[in-house]
Amino acid sequence: MRLPTVVLMRSQHGSRLHPRLDDDLRHLPELLEATRAYAVRILRGLDERPVAGTPAPSAPSALPERGAGLAGAMETFARRWEPGFSGSAGPRYLGFVTGGATPAALAGDWLTGTLDQNPTSALDSGAQDLERETLAWLRELFGLSEEHSGIFVSGATMSNVTGLAIAREWLGEQRGVSVAEEGAAALGPVRVLSGSPHSSVGKALSMLGLGRAALRQVDVLPGREAVDVARLADELAALDGRPAIVVANAGTVNTVDFDDLRAIAELRERYPFWMHVDAAFGAFAALSPEHAHLVDGLAEADSVCVDLHKWLNVPYDGAVQFTRRRDLQARVFRNAAAYLGPLGETPDFIHLTPENSRRLRALPAWFTLAAYGREGHAEIVRRDIAMAARLGELVDAMPAYRLLAPVRLNVVCFTLAAAPERVGELAAAIAASGEAFLTPTVYDGLPALRAAFSNWRTTDADVRRVAEVLEAFRP
Ligand SMILES: *Cc1c(COP(=O)(O)O)cnc(C)c1O
> Rounded to the nearest whole angstrom, what is the distance from the C-alpha of residue 156 to the centroid of ligand 1?
5
* Pocket-testing residue among 152, 161, 194, 198, ligand 1, by greatest number of atoms within 8 A of Cβ: 198
pLDDT > 70 fraction of the chain, expressed in percent and rounded: 96
Angle at 232 between CA 139 and CA 225, to 5 degrees: 70
- Residues 292 and 78: their CA atoms lie apart, in Å, by 43
> Rounded to the nearest whole angstrom, what is the distance from the C-alpha of residue 439 to the centroid of ligand 1?
15
Between 344 and 206, the more confident residue is 206
CB-CB contact of 423 with 415 (8 Å): yes
For residue 15, the model assigns a pLDDT of 79
Across the chain, mean pLDDT equals 95
Give the chain's length. Answer: 475
Q: How far is CA 97 from CA 284, 310, 368, 464, in A?
A: 13, 6, 19, 20
Between 56 and 191, the more confident residue is 191
DSSP state, 453? -
> Rounded to the nearest whole angstrom, what is the distance from the C-alpha of residue 280 to the centroid of ligand 1?
6
For residue 12, the model assigns a pLDDT of 54
For residue 336, the model assigns a pLDDT of 81
Between 170 and 344, the more confident residue is 170
**Which pLDDT band holds residue 50 (cuts at 50, 70, 90)?**
very high
For residue 367, the model assigns a pLDDT of 99
How do residues 179-223 score in pLDDT, each as one tens digit?
A: 999 999 999 999 999 999 999 999 999 999 999 999 999 999 999
For residue 193, the model assigns a pLDDT of 99
Angle at 435 between CA 379 and CA 91, to 5 degrees: 15
Between 150 and 4, the more confident residue is 150
Alpha helices in 185-284 (DSSP H): 199-207, 229-237, 261-266
For residue 344, the model assigns a pLDDT of 77
- Residues 304 and 309: their CA atoms lie apart, in Å, by 16
Q: Hey, whose CA ends up nearest to atom 14 of ligand 1?
A: 280
- Residue 225 pLDDT exceeds 60: yes
Nearest atom in ligand 1 to 155's CA: 7
How do residues 422-447 score in pLDDT, each as one tens digit?
A: 999 999 999 999 999 999 999 999 99
Residues with CB under 6 A from ligand 1: 97, 155-157, 198, 200, 251, 253, 278, 280-281, 307, 319
Candidates 40, 318, 332, 52; CA nearest to 180 is 332
- Residue 6 pLDDT exceeds 60: no
- Residues 368 and 377: their CA atoms lie apart, in Å, by 9
> Rounded to the nearest whole angstrom, what is the distance from the C-alpha of residue 154 to the centroid of ligand 1?
11
Write the DSSP assignment of 391-452 as a string of letters: HHHHHHT-TTEEESS---SSEEEEEESS-GGGHHHHHHHHHHHTS-B-EEEEETTEEEEEEE
**Which pLDDT band holds residue 55 (cuts at 50, 70, 90)?**
confident
313: left (phi over 0), alpha (psi -120 to 50) or beta: left
**Which pLDDT band holds residue 92 (cuts at 50, 70, 90)?**
very high
Nearest atom in ligand 1 to 251's CA: 13
Q: Hey, whose CA ends up nearest to atom 10 of ligand 1?
A: 156
Candidates 369, 394, 406; CA nearest to 463 is 394
Candidates 275, 251, 29, 90; CA nearest to 170 is 275
Q: 303-307 and 319-323 as β-strands: parallel, antiparallel, unpaired? A: antiparallel
Reduce the DSSP state of residue 192 to 3 states and report it.
strand
> Rounded to the nearest whole angstrom, what is the distance from the C-alpha of residue 311 to the centroid of ligand 1?
11
Q: Hey, whose CA ends up nearest to atom 13 of ligand 1?
A: 280
> Rounded to the nearest whole angstrom, what is the distance from the C-alpha of residue 226 to the centroid of ligand 1?
17
- Which residues on neighbouring strands pair with residue 415, listed in sequence order? 402
Q: How far is CA 223 from CA 36, 158, 196, 254, 361, in A?
A: 50, 30, 12, 13, 39
Q: Hey, whose CA ends up nearest to atom 5 of ligand 1?
A: 156
For residue 54, the model assigns a pLDDT of 82
> Rounded to the nearest whole angstrom, what is the distance from the C-alpha of residue 95 to the centroid of ligand 1?
13
Nearest atom in ligand 1 to 157's CA: 9
Highest mean pLDDT among 10-19, 297-306, 331-340: 297-306
Reduce the DSSP state of residue 326 to 3 states and report it.
helix
**Which pLDDT band holds residue 462 (cuts at 50, 70, 90)?**
very high
> Rounded to the nearest whole angstrom, what is the distance from the C-alpha of residue 15 to the centroid of ligand 1?
46
Candidates 238, 236, 241, 239; CA nearest to 263 is 236
Nearest atom in ligand 1 to 158's CA: 9
For residue 26, the model assigns a pLDDT of 98
Rounded to 10 degrees, the C-alpha dihedral 235/236/237/241 comes to 140
Candidates 289, 290, 266, 292; CA nearest to 279 is 292
Nearest atom in ligand 1 to 160's CA: 10
For residue 461, the model assigns a pLDDT of 97
How do residues 59-81 score in pLDDT, each as one tens digit?
A: 899 999 999 999 999 999 999 99
Number of Cβ atoms within 10 Å of the Cβ of 202: 18
- Residue 369 pLDDT exceeds 80: yes
CB-CB contact of 213 with 180 (8 Å): no
For residue 272, the model assigns a pLDDT of 98
- Which residues on neighbouring strands pair with residue 447, listed in sequence order? 442
For residue 53, the model assigns a pLDDT of 83
Sequence-ordered strand ranges (E) for 336-398:
none
> Please, how many CA atoms are within 13 Å of residue 173, restricted to the half-sphere of its CB?
15
- Which residues on neighbouring strands pair with residue 152, listed in sequence order? 320
Residue 192: burial class (beta carbons within 10 Å; 0-12, 13-18, 19+): buried
**Which pLDDT band holds residue 408 (cuts at 50, 70, 90)?**
very high
Write the DSSP assignment of 148-161 as a string of letters: -EEEEESSHHHHHH
For residue 330, the model assigns a pLDDT of 95
Domains of the chain: 26-61+71-115+371-475 (3.90.1150.170), 117-358 (3.40.640.10)
